[in-house]
Amino acid sequence: MMGGEGCFESYGDVFNADDWVSNGRRIVVKWETDYGDRGTCHDAGGEAGPGNYCNANLRESGRVRIQVVERNGAEGPDYYPGPWSSWWSID
């Protein structure tokens, strides 16, 4: 079971990764646009703190989608990958 959540806020192009469980893993929000940009937002804080906010500075047009995973380290294997979200308007 995944120990956190992620979201996207179009105002400011902000992604949020929120790790709820102190288990040595992190919550990662993987994102991609319909014009080819992609990236990640990580939170490894466990139960302490409000999560991590990442500003992506996306184009004012286009769409974005996210997938939330639990990961062992910054580049380690993904655990409990959630489904990709629907495509959301960036503007």
Per-residue model confidence as pLDDT tens digits over 17-39: 999 988 889 999 999 999 999 99
Q: Is 37 exposed, middle or buried (0-12, 13-18, 19+ CB in 10 A)?
A: middle
For the question of whether the overall pTM of this predicted structure is more than 0.85, the answer is yes
Q: Read off the pLDDT of residues 56-73 as tens digits, 9 standing for 90 and up.
A: 999 988 999 999 999 998
Residue whose entry in the numeric block shows the structure tokens 């319909």: 34
Owner of token pair 């990236």: 39
Q: What is the mean pLDDT of residues 37-64?
A: 90
